[in-house]
Amino acid sequence: MSQSVRWILTESCTCPAPLSGMPGVELPEGLPSFIHIYQNDFVGRKPKKLKDDDVAICLCKYDANYPESACGDRCLNVMTSTECTRGYCPCEDFCMNQRFQKCEYAKTKLFQTEGRGWGLLAVEDIKAGQFIIEYCGEVISLEEAKQRSQSYEAQGLRDAYIISLNSNYFIDATKKGSLARFINHSCLPNCETRKWTVLGETRVGIFAKVDISAGTELAYNYNFEWYGGATVRCLCGAANCCIFLGAKSQGFQEYNHVWEEGDDRYRVEEVPLYDSAEDEPFSRIPETIRLFKFESINGPETDYSQKMEGGDVSGQELDYFSAIKPPNPVKIDGITTKAEKVESLDSGKSQDQDMEQTFDDTSAMLSRLRSNSAGRNFNIGSGSSSKKRPQHSPRQKKKSAGGKQFHPKNIADLFQSKEAQEVRKYEEIKNQAAANLKSVYDEIRPAIEVHERDSQDNVPTSVGRQWVGAHCAKFRADFDFHFSVVKNFLESAKKAGPGMKASGSGDNPKE
Ligand SMILES: C[S@@+](CC[C@H](N)C(=O)[O-])C[C@H]1O[C@@H](n2cnc3c(N)ncnc32)[C@H](O)[C@@H]1O
């Protein structure tokens, strides 16, 4: 049974009192407690204050015979996903481009789904492209997002409400948020998320992808990028459902292949061998942090088994932190996750610290540049999941001779020779290239951040070129370094005679 309409605004909320004409919020009984807000609540920093010079003013001129003239689709601000600013727009009160500011939401209603918690329904017909609601919550830093994600997990919270605004900031709607926090995921969604700039800040809106009729559940494709941790069964009911949230992401597919019982392709013995210290310099992920990313998936379009309409998926890139972690991987009749089959997982390997640091600083930039291509990736903390592979089970044999691993740095120390000097020279060049890459990133970061709210199409070519150039130099230096390690290692072994094996192999009588 529904309670009467009520406003819930707390003292700590920075948003103004609800504007007249704003939709009321009907909160049904039994809804887990949260604080309803109409604007993002900034934690740890204040919202930007736009200076006069920074306000984007369009060239629209209101024509009473043509309402679209007041900041419709041809408005310069609309075209750049920027809202007009009240008091500055030439169309004044006729301006139609202040939907976030005026909370011009579609009428919606909460309802209880089967197995997916609460969901949001359209109460009126909604047109394709229409703004439905803002995804509001607390705006927090990346660090805070990591901490909260871990803490929610420790508290056993199942539902994930943290999404990314950009590489530095996230929206956490766990404790405070708008009704958008209740919109569920579908593999065949009728809505999508879009980022808009409103009064200088990036905000996230839910928009209709297709015409939606009253009574239909609203859903968008979370496009979770799976970064380890729990596998959560998707219950969207779409005919093209991916079975698990994030199942289409590379991380999930490499780590949690889903297969039928008895499928011999995935026997533990056949898990590929690798030496992570050498192959995977960036692959360590803090286990407790799960980052999910919304990303385009062009899956087959099939019938919608629930009352949702289809269309191709083109939601913008957003990331999701999850606090979900069931005790064991999900098991569905006849289907097992690979994690269940692999008997034990190592907790992580030591990493090349300087490389890792550079990667931390530059991963956000990389992800943005990559996001224009089909195979997007996003990295957090110390590494990318894209290369993460199943780790050794106790039954697997080691690849290295005698179980020893040869780290490039150790090799340089071990060989006090001409060869070692050459290796060190290349190592220095490699470090220099890494430092250059970092300084290029620091230099061009502002240019990227100005544009990150939409896409990287707007980033000046010179910036992109500089970035690509620095990367190529870094890759080249890495290659030269590793090549010199291998070459000099072999040469010194050859010089030492046919019986000589790598230092540390235990076969050298002098050892
Ligand atoms: C942003 S919340 C959505 C609202 C949530 N249903 C509630 O009751 O608060 C996201 C969480 O809802 C659940 N969820 C959303 N879509 C789902 C789906 N298709 N299948 C299973 N669970 C889903 C998952 O637990 C997910 O972490």
Number of structural domains found in the chain? 2
Q: For residue 339, what are the CA distances in angstroms to 251, 254, 280?
A: 13, 11, 19
- Indicate the angle between helix axes 353-370 and 461-495, nearest 10 degrees: 140
Q: Are residues 438 and 334 in the same domain?
A: no
Q: Are residues 220 and 357 in the same domain?
A: yes
Whether pLDDT at 172 is above 50:
yes
- In our burial notation (b when 16+ CB lie closer than 10 A, e otherwise), range 31-65 reads eeebbbbbbbbebeeeeeeeeeeeebebebebeee
Whether pLDDT at 215 is above 90:
yes
Ligand 1 center to 372 CA (angstroms): 28
Contacts of 303 (CB under 8 A, 6+ apart): 239, 310
d(CA 22, CA 85): 18
Cα-Cα-Cα-Cα dihedral sign, residues 150, 154, 160, 161:
negative
Q: Are residues 330 and 422 in the same domain?
A: no
Ligand 1 center to 208 CA (angstroms): 19
Higher pLDDT, 430 or 144: 144
Which of 188, 245, 318 gets mutated to test ligand 1 (max ligand atoms within 8 A of its CB)?
245
Query: What is the band of 258 on the pLDDT scale with cuts at 50, 70, 90?
Result: very low
- How many C-beta atoms surround the C-beta of residue 339 within 10 A? 18
Residue 118 has which token pair? Answer: 């609460």
pLDDT tens, residue by residue, 296-340? 222 322 222 233 333 332 334 454 554 333 333 333 333 333 333
Q: Are residues 355 and 428 in the same domain?
A: no
What strands, in cross-sheet order, belong to the sheet with 162-164?
A: 41-42, 138-141, 169-172, 162-164, 318-322, 290-294
- How many C-beta atoms surround the C-beta of residue 246 within 10 A? 29
Whether pLDDT at 269 is above 80:
no
Is residue 219 domain-resident? Answer: yes
Ligand 1: which residue has its CA nearest to atom 11? 159
Write out the E strands in 271-356.
290-294, 318-322, 335-337
Ligand 1 center to 236 CA (angstroms): 9
State which ligand 1 atom lies nearest to the alpha carbon of 323.
27
Query: What is the band of 483 on the pLDDT scale with cuts at 50, 70, 90?
Result: confident
Query: What is the band of 24 on the pLDDT scale with cuts at 50, 70, 90?
Result: low
Query: What is the band of 479 on the pLDDT scale with cuts at 50, 70, 90?
Result: confident
Strand partners of residue 440: none
Q: Are residues 195 and 321 in the same domain?
A: yes
Q: Are residues 359 and 434 in the same domain?
A: no
Ligand 1: which residue has its CA nearest to atom 23? 116
Which of 116, 152, 186, 304 gets mutated to test ligand 1 (max ligand atoms within 8 A of its CB)?
116
Model pLDDT, residue 88:
96
Whether pLDDT at 386 is above 50:
no
Total H helices, total E strands in the chain? 9, 17
Q: Are residues 89 and 44 in the same domain?
A: yes
Phi, psi dihedrals of residue 367, rounded to the nearest 5°: -65, -35
d(CA 306, CA 44): 41
Query: In this structure, which amino acid lies at residue 165?
Result: L
Model pLDDT, residue 469:
83
Is residue 277 domain-resident? Answer: yes
Contacts of 171 (CB under 8 A, 6+ apart): 40, 135, 136, 137, 138, 139, 140, 162, 163, 164, 165, 204
Query: What is the band of 266 on the pLDDT scale with cuts at 50, 70, 90?
Result: very low
Are 365 and 377 in contact by the 8 Å Cβ rule? The answer is: no
Q: Are residues 192 and 323 in the same domain?
A: yes
Whether pLDDT at 124 is above 80:
yes
State which ligand 1 atom lies nearest to the alpha carbon of 241.
19
d(CA 442, CA 434): 13
Is residue 22 domain-resident? Answer: no
Is residue 470 domain-resident? Answer: yes
**Average pLDDT over every residue of 470-476:** 85
Is residue 380 domain-resident? Answer: no
State which ligand 1 atom lies nearest to the alpha carbon of 160.
27
d(CA 58, CA 89): 7
- Please state, rounded to an integer, the average pLDDT across all residues of the chain: 68
Q: For residue 447, what are the CA distances in angstroms to 204, 319, 394?
A: 21, 22, 49
Query: In this structure, which amino acid lies at residue 93?
Result: D
Cβ < 6 A, ligand 1 pocket? 116-119, 158-161, 181-182, 184-185, 234-236, 324
Domain range for residue 405? 401-495
Higher pLDDT, 154 or 134: 134
State which ligand 1 atom lies nearest to the alpha carbon of 233.
21
Least confidently predicted of 20-24, 61-65, 94-98, 384-388: 384-388
Cα-Cα-Cα-Cα dihedral sign, residues 408, 411, 413, 416:
negative
State which ligand 1 atom lies nearest to the alpha carbon of 113.
6
Ligand 1: which residue has its CA nearest to atom 24? 159
d(CA 178, CA 175): 10
Ligand 1: which residue has its CA nearest to atom 15? 184
Q: Are residues 361 and 463 in the same domain?
A: no
Ligand 1 center to 118 CA (angstroms): 8
Classified as helix, coil or strand, 202 is strand
Model pLDDT, residue 322:
42
Q: Helices marked H in 371-415 — which ranges?
A: 408-414
- Read off the pTM: 0.56
CA angle 232, 234, 238 (to 5 degrees): 170
Is residue 289 domain-resident? Answer: yes
State which ligand 1 atom lies nearest to the alpha carbon of 119.
6
Whether pLDDT at 383 is above 80:
no
Long-range CB contacts (< 8 A, 24+ apart) of 56-65? 56/80, 56/82, 56/84, 56/85, 57/84, 57/85, 57/88, 57/89, 57/90, 58/84, 58/89, 58/90, 58/97, 59/90, 60/89, 60/90, 60/91, 60/95, 61/90, 61/91, 62/90, 62/91, 62/92, 62/94
Is residue 267 domain-resident? Answer: yes
Ligand 1 center to 353 CA (angstroms): 37
CATH of the domain at 77: 2.170.270.10
Longest dimension (CA), the chain: 96
86-90, 291-295, 444-448, range with greatest mean pLDDT? 86-90
Is residue 507 domain-resident? Answer: no
Please tell me what DSSP assigns to residue 380.
Answer: B
Model pLDDT, residue 352:
41
User: Hunting for tokens 């949001």 — which residue is that?
Assistant: 120
Q: Is the ipTM of this complex over 0.95?
A: yes
Alpha carbon 78 to its chain's center: 26
Higher pLDDT, 408 or 455: 408
Q: Are residues 457 and 313 in the same domain?
A: no
State which ligand 1 atom lies nearest to the alpha carbon of 185.
16
241-245, 248-252, 341-345, 451-455, range with greatest mean pLDDT? 241-245
Q: Are residues 204 and 316 in the same domain?
A: yes
Higher pLDDT, 261 or 338: 261
H/E stretch holding 119: strand 118-122
Which of 159, 174, 182 gets mutated to test ligand 1 (max ligand atoms within 8 A of its CB)?
159
Cα-Cα-Cα-Cα dihedral sign, residues 324, 329, 333, 337:
positive
Query: What is the band of 460 on the pLDDT scale with cuts at 50, 70, 90?
Result: low
Query: What is the band of 451 on the pLDDT scale with cuts at 50, 70, 90?
Result: low
Ligand 1 center to 219 CA (angstroms): 10
Q: Are residues 229 and 313 in the same domain?
A: yes
